[in-house]
Amino acid sequence: MRLLTYIQTRHQISRRKFVTLVNEGFVSINGKKITAYTQEVITGDKLSIKAPNFKIDEVIEEKQKSSTLILLNKPLGYVASKSDPHNKTIYEILPPEYTNYYYIWRLDKNSHGLLLLTDDPALVNEFEHPKFDIEKEYIVELDMELDAKDIQRALSGVKDENEMLRAIKITKNKKHYHYNITLNEWKKRHIRRMFKTIGYRVMDLERVREGKYSLGDVKVGEWKIIEQK
């Protein structure tokens, strides 16, 4: 188990705070300071963190528990962030007991639809790590009809800001200028950048599926809990 996962689960600290603690030399395992953010630990290891206003001194004990997933239909205008002085956040929609949940694959302010949250950092890694190849499906409205050659360009991949952006499946939706777009990777503003590069503007973007989880009949601004064993 990674130390980061253990600390996030047990003590609800952020990845950023963990990185800072490691960089400043405050974290030790079995009396030895660690320098790697990917440090692995096992049951019985002694964890020590001695930082100003934050101290831990304990033996690591891995406890098996179920993970909880929340499926939220994110409205437009909300950001996936713990706090934002200028925008409404997704946590304003959810009850206070879910403040420490982690979101999986953020949706930007101008996008809406399915957003998963969980209390288990390891589950976030399972979804987001490229090796798991989890599909994400979107319904995308463009400003005009997609040309066949541009569909092929999007499937083959286009380069933007030194990143290759591609879709693995594009099908015409029954609505005018709407398409179902499937990805198996995620880069910042992936779909918007991909279509801008080939000359189209995304007018609306709704995520409807992540892996085996679909938006279904969950209405905008509503959410439901999914238990994971």
Q: For 61-94, how does the pLDDT look when each residue is reduced to its tens digit (9 = 90+)?
A: 765 566 889 999 999 999 998 888 899 999 999 9
Select from 3.40.50.2300, 1.10.10.10, 3.40.50.150, 3.10.290.10 the CATH code of 3-59. 3.10.290.10
Sign of the CA dihedral with 121 first, then 126, 127, and 130 last: positive
Average pLDDT, the chain: 90
Domain extents in the chain: 3-59, 68-214
- pLDDT given for residue 214 in this prediction: 95
Q: For 7-65, how does the pLDDT look when each residue is reduced to its tens digit (9 = 90+)?
A: 877 777 778 888 999 999 999 999 999 998 888 888 889 999 999 888 999 998 765 56
Phi first, then psi, for residue 19 (nearest 5°) are -60, -40
- pLDDT given for residue 203 in this prediction: 98
pLDDT at 4 over 90: no
Helices 3-11, 121-128: axis angle to 10 degrees equals 130
pTM summary value: 0.73
* 3-state percent breakdown (helix, strand, coil) of the chain, nearest 5: 25, 35, 40
Question: Matching CATH topology for 3-59 and 68-214?
Answer: no
- pLDDT given for residue 38 in this prediction: 87
Return the SS3 of 77: coil
Distances (CA, A) of 80 to 25, 40, 75, 84, 110: 31, 29, 11, 9, 11
- pLDDT given for residue 37 in this prediction: 85
pLDDT at 159 over 90: yes
- pLDDT given for residue 40 in this prediction: 87
Architecture per CATH, domain 68-214, reads as 2-Layer Sandwich (3.30)
Q: For 165-193, how does the pLDDT look when each residue is reduced to its tens digit (9 = 90+)?
A: 999 999 999 999 999 999 998 889 999 99
Reported confidence tier of residue 130, pLDDT bands at 50, 70, 90: confident
- pLDDT given for residue 200 in this prediction: 98
pLDDT cut 90: percent of the chain above it: 64
- pLDDT given for residue 114 in this prediction: 97
